[in-house]
Amino acid sequence: MTEHTEHTETAAHSGRTECTVFATPEALGAALASEIADGIETSAAEGRAFVLGCPGGRSARPVYRALAAEASRRRLDLSHLVIVMMDEYVVREGGRFRNVDPGEAFSVVRFGRDEIVSPLVASGIGTPELWTPDAADPQRHEDRIAAAGIDLFILASGSGDGHVAFNTPGTPVDARSRVVELPESTRRDNVRTHPDFGTPDGVPPYGVTVGTGTIADYSKRAVMIAHGVEKRTAAARLSAATGYDPAWPATIVHACRSAALYLDAAAAA
C-alpha cells in the first residue's frame, strides 16, 4: 500500500481497485493533478503525446483547477497533451443527430474549451489538443481513441443512477462510442449539474458518448473520483463492487487497468 500525505487515508478495496480517501476535494484534486503533470512531463521528454480522458461537469473541477496551478508552477510543456472529452449533449433533427451548439452553457465542448484547455494555456507552455465526439460520426472518436490509447482516464459517477459519461443503467460492459437516449434518471442527475435546465424535461434527450468498453479497453490507468455528500451513494456502490455491474455503469472502473477510486471524506462517510 502506498503511503500518502497527512491529508489522505488509504484503505484496501474489496477487489483489486485501490481506494484512497482525501480530506477535501482540493486535496483529491491536487494529488491527481500532480500525477497527471508527472505523466505529461515524462511523455514530453519521450517525445510522445500524453492522452488524458476527461469528463465535463462538477466532479473533476478540483482536478482541472489543480492541474492549471501545477502547469504554472512547473511551466509544463503542454504541446504534447491531448484532452479527450467523454461525451456531448445531442438533439435530433428529422432522422439525423447533431451536437448541441458549443456556445450553450451546458455544452461539454464548451466546458472542455473554457474550463480545461483555456486555463492550461494561460498557465503552461504550448496548447493542448482537444478531441470531442460528434453525433454525426461517433465511430471517428472511437477510432482515434483506439489508435492513441488513453494514458489516464478521469472518471465520474452520476449520483442518482451511476451513469459514467452517458452510459446509463443497463449498458453492457463492451459498449462502444455511440448516440444514446438519456433516461429520466440521467437527465435528473444533469439538472443538479446544470440547474438552468430547470427540470429533467429541459435536458437534451440524447447524448453522444464513449462506451464502457471504450473506457476499459483503451485506458492505461483509470481514476474514478467522487466527492461531497451528494456522492455518498455513488461512493458506497463503487466501493462495494468488485467488477462491472450494468445497474451502476460507473463500476466499469473495476474492469480498467491500474484502476483507482479517489473519494473525499464527505463522500466516504
* DSSP alpha helix (H) spans, 46-183: 61-74, 108-111, 118-123, 138-148
Write out the H or E segment, with its range, that includes residue 263: strand 259-264
Q: How far apart are CA 165 and CA 180, in angstroms?
A: 11
Q: How far apart are CA 110 and CA 115, in angstroms?
A: 8
Average pLDDT over residues 234-240: 97
Whether residue 209 is contained in a domain is answered as yes
For the chain, the average pLDDT equals 93
Average pLDDT over residues 241-263: 97
Whether residue 232 is contained in a domain is answered as yes
Write out the H or E segment, with its range, that includes residue 178: strand 178-181
| pLDDT value for 29 | 98
Whether residue 3 is contained in a domain is answered as no
Whether residue 124 is contained in a domain is answered as yes
Total domains in the chain come to 1
Return left, alpha or beta for 170; rule: phi > 0 is left, psi -120 to 50 is alpha, else beta: left
Residue 13 reports pLDDT greater than 50: no
Average pLDDT over residues 148-168: 97
- Residue 14: how many CB atoms within 10 A of its CB? 12
Whether residue 151 is contained in a domain is answered as yes
Residue 11 reports pLDDT greater than 60: no
Q: pLDDT band for position 190 (50/70/90)?
A: confident
Residue 224 reports pLDDT greater than 80: yes
Cell (9 digits) for 180: 444514446
Whether residue 1 is contained in a domain is answered as no
| pLDDT value for 16 | 75
Residue 209 reports pLDDT greater than 80: yes
- Residue 266: how many CB atoms within 10 A of its CB? 18
Answer whether 222's CB lies under 8 Å from 186's CB.
no
Answer whether 189's CB lies under 8 Å from 117's CB.
no
Percent over 90 (pLDDT), the chain: 89
Identify the residue whose cell numbers are 500532480: 34
Q: What is the CA radius of gyration of the chain?
A: 17
Q: How far apart are CA 226 and CA 267, in angstroms?
A: 7
Answer whether 258's CB lies under 8 Å from 220's CB.
yes
| pLDDT value for 195 | 85
Q: DSSP class of residue 160? A: T
Whether residue 189 is contained in a domain is answered as yes
Q: Determine the length of the chain.
A: 269
| pLDDT value for 204 | 94
pTM value is 0.93
Whether residue 264 is contained in a domain is answered as yes
Cell (9 digits) for 160: 442518482
Q: Which has the higher per-residue pLDDT, 9 or 78?
A: 78
| pLDDT digits 0-9 by tens, 87-118 | 999 999 988 999 999 999 999 999 999 999 99
Transcribe 6-65 into DSSP letters.
Answer: TTEEEE--SSSSEEEEESSHHHHHHHHHHHHHHHHHHHHHTT--EEEEE--SSTTHHHHH
Which residue segment(s) compose the domain that 249 sits in?
8-268
CATH number for the domain that contains residue 185: 3.40.50.1360
Identify the residue whose cell numbers are 481514476: 223
Q: How far apart are CA 50 and CA 115, in angstroms?
A: 19
| pLDDT digits 0-9 by tens, 31-88 | 999 999 999 999 999 999 999 999 998 999 999 999 999 999 999 999 999 999 999 9
Percent over 70 (pLDDT), the chain: 94
Answer whether 254's CB lies under 8 Å from 243's CB.
yes
| pLDDT value for 192 | 83
